[in-house]
Structure 1
Amino acid sequence: MAKNTSLYFRIVEGRSLPAKDVSGTSDPYCIVKVDNEVVARTATVWKNLNPFWGEEYTLHLPTGFHSLSFYVMDEDTIGHDDVIGKISLSKDAIGAKVKGMDNWLNLTRVDPDEEVQGEIHFGLELLRDAKRIGLRCHFIEARDLAPRDISGTSDPFARILFNNHSAETSIIKKTRYPHWGETLELELETEELSEGGTVTVEVWDWDMVGKNDFLGKVEIPFACLHKTPLVQGWFRLLPLGNNEDDAGGKLGALRLKVRLVEDHILPSMYYQPLIDLLVQSVISPAEVEDGSPLNMLEEVTTVESRQDVAMTLVKIYLGKGLVVPFLDYLNTREVNHTLDPNTLFPVQLSSF
């Protein structure tokens, strides 16, 4: 059984955006990211602090995605575009609302320490024998790290921390895909074995001048190492976890409509009898309309699911090369059920 994850979102409009240009206005557009990967960009609305976009997108995503982020930017003809603010939604927050969400959301400030991406591959082991007690971390590699330098790369190094103990790997210059192949050990006291706490692995970008830039972190509860002495694999890097600051609404707001749909898909043979009935309904419409499969489908379709049903029907008829006869069927049905001769009939899925 396959699983299909679809994400629908509509960027409706913005309001009360701050002025970024000397003219007292801004030229806003939106960038949409899934797990820090750009997936969409709206048009630019020139010289407007209350822009209307009304742009809709449907994405088919891997089941393991974590977050959806909307960045509002101010386009500049000369120089870099300015970041106005962002809205981040976790997959859990979106999925918690079955009907989706349709809200005004305040923009938050963009913190560089929160803009992390990529994964790190390491193995963490609890050492406990007669000679020593400690933690051993084998840093293997990392991939797809955020670029922090003007060259579009970073100079990453990794660090392990537990209580007051820490150790660092060497620095790998100018890469977003570092390979360390290093093993670090932390010596612990016996009493620390009974403590809780968290083992933290951090990745940083080394800077010759100024402070180092944060690239992400992974946290492993120390209690996990008592149950499984060796924890190893690829781990997604997480931000520092600072509380988002919406600046009291001073950065403006976006009206967004977002809905997550996760479907379990059976082998095609289970759907074939229904598809055959739907195809036959269009090719040879029944004289008694109430008995047609499409009519019965409409009767059992709820208001909330009509859009999903309509999109699925379009996909079926597109795949069968029958989308035009399908639309003809719907329009004919509307004409037959309309008594007012002055009604105009646009070509649309009005029945659904």
Structure 2
Amino acid sequence: MGDKEASAPNPDDFKLKDTNPQLGERWPHGGVRGGHGWIGADRATSTYDLVEQMYYLYVRVVRAKDLPVNPLTGSCDPYVEVKLGNYKGKTKHFENKTNPEWQQVFAFPKQKIQSTVLEVYVRDRDMVGRDDYLGKVVFDMNEVPTRVPPDSPLAPQWYRLEVRRGETKSKGEVMLAVWMGTQADEAFPEAWHTDAASVHGEGVYNIRSKVYVSPKLWYLRVNVIEAQDVEPNDKSQPPQVYVKAQVGLQILKTKVCPTKTPNPFWNEDLVFVAAEPFEELLVIEVINKVNSKDELMGKISLPLTIFERRLDHKAVHSRWFNLERFGFGALEGDRRNEQKFSTRIHLRVCLEGGYHVLDEPTMYISDTRPTARQLWKQPMGILEVGILSAQGLQPMKKKEGQPSSTDSYCVAKYGQKWVRTRTIIQNFNPKWNEQYVWEVYDPCTVITLGVFDNCHLGDNDKSKKDTRIGKIRIRLSTLETDRIYTHSYPLIVLQPSGVKKMGELQLAVRFTCLSLSTIIYQYSRPLLPKLHYVHPFTINQLDNLRYQAMNIVAIRLGRAEPPLRREVVEYLLDVDSHIWSMRRSKANFFRIVSVCSGMLAMSKWLGEVCQWKNPITTVLVHILYFILTCYPELILPTIFLYMFLIGVWNFRYRPRHPPHMDTKLSWADAVNPDELDEEFDTFPTSKSADVVRMRYDRLRSIAGRIQTVVGDIATQGERLQALLSWRDPRATCLFTVPYRHLQYRVLFVQEHGHRVKLSKSH
């Protein structure tokens, strides 16, 4: 029992913690520290004022010339080795090249420098492993210049190679630049870091920080109107035709034309997701169903660039397209590949620019702009996020003969911009101190950040997946403008064994307002562009289109270098948010109960008033009721006054930091093992028949109770409608007559008040 209590998670571990990072040293005037954040009235305009300042020794290796060749092999395969104490970094080697060019930067953290000299060696690679020594250049650390942006970049210089200190080699020079700088240096993202000392080959590129941009997504609407001259191979049977359309991996079909005619008519809309630049083709096939088999009647492939781009709901012009049909069969001989006219099809195709292509859940949306850039407004704010560090990360990988380790990096997604920090090798408390900026077009949006373990360092096995460590979300509408929030966010993950804290992510966040009036105006507008409400999609269409959009984004970002892997994109976009689970159902039920608790408390209070439990309250309520009955025009002002007083009263209890995941609200801390096993089950299920039968019966019992509640709600609504239908004459009469009397009374009061005003004015 004691062990269980010791292993139980502490609820305080799941709460947000205020931190005090050393950010003031980046500000010339120190800044002003408030009780719950920085108030930066005098803050510096540097783009790196939200992170702790870190100094690095940068070594830029540009090129070499006139390198000596090996007298035995007659060739030179040069590479450069940069050595600083116990740290070494190597460039790639060139085969048989005496004038190589590397253009590579090395970065060494200042706090890890334990040597007074920097040595740059030029070596000749030997296949046996004994690399020849061509020469070196030595720098004294006390003479290295310091460069702080926005200073101009330091120009590289030619240095003659030395055999020993002070002894110049007769041949060979190398171009170098050495300086001391910060992480704000433009060389920082592309630099080789000492954290990658154990990484070789392609794995080096997997640890660098990168900025990615999501592809520009469009909705492609294909209106299949009709076809003409559809001639089946068997002319004795009338055709039963449908149309299949394909864009990339997306395939949609129309219904089979109800009339068996050579001129079928459909007038159906098929909607796809397309990414710019358009690489896929729109493939249209007219297919005839013959005895449960499909017979291809014609086909055409169309590039997406030929279609009109629509910004509103106005109709676009339709076009006729001639389909192509090729002969098949052994008897046709050489005519098998001959193109023959088959039929033609009538289409109305356009690229919808007035919609926002949803690739993430609407509740956690980070961008609401339509696809067409012509419809964008000016940004109303700037979001700056400093990804400082992580604390207490759990070991994610275990190697034989070696202690467990974690190679962590952080990914942030807001709008179309994705950022990825560099990977810190074998460190449970990594420090990134990287800052990124986004433009804000809607304050009611959310930024998502995730921490992952890199499983592809020096390993080209694509079957491996980067492990999830945790994810957080910050809603911009909960942030005060021009204030820096410095908090440590717990990384909470639900595992088959239960909810677990995987560590903490320390961030500094600032939301800067550019136009207060625009932000306030944005609150009066709907969340999505107008076309989503004028011509909405069905629920099934939205689910399918969102899945296709996520798939396209994952494929395109996976083709970058280094790739942003599919499992990372899917985790940040919540690819599995639609899957049912008992835990989510319970959480949503209790959320509804919490929302309705105010109404239940109000009804209980009215019951106590009716029972005269507190005579003073009952008398005051009757007086208020009498006043509102005599002056019904005071009903709405009284309600608004009451709401105003509640808002003023709750001002002193306002939240002082952004909201974070609540394990009680999500029901993650009270879910039982079987429900967790069901939530982590694959889709379709991989469990045995007995387990599936038990869960199906349990789902039926829950659905039966939901069905009863929904039926009761529908019954009450039908009763309310029946009050005016004279289904029950007495009930309708009792409801209508007092309502009409009250209406006359309101008209009388309004008319009487108008006459009183007229008499006073006269």
- TM-score, structure 1 as length reference: 0.38
- TM-score, structure 2 as length reference: 0.19
Higher relative contact order (CA 8 A, sep 6+): 1
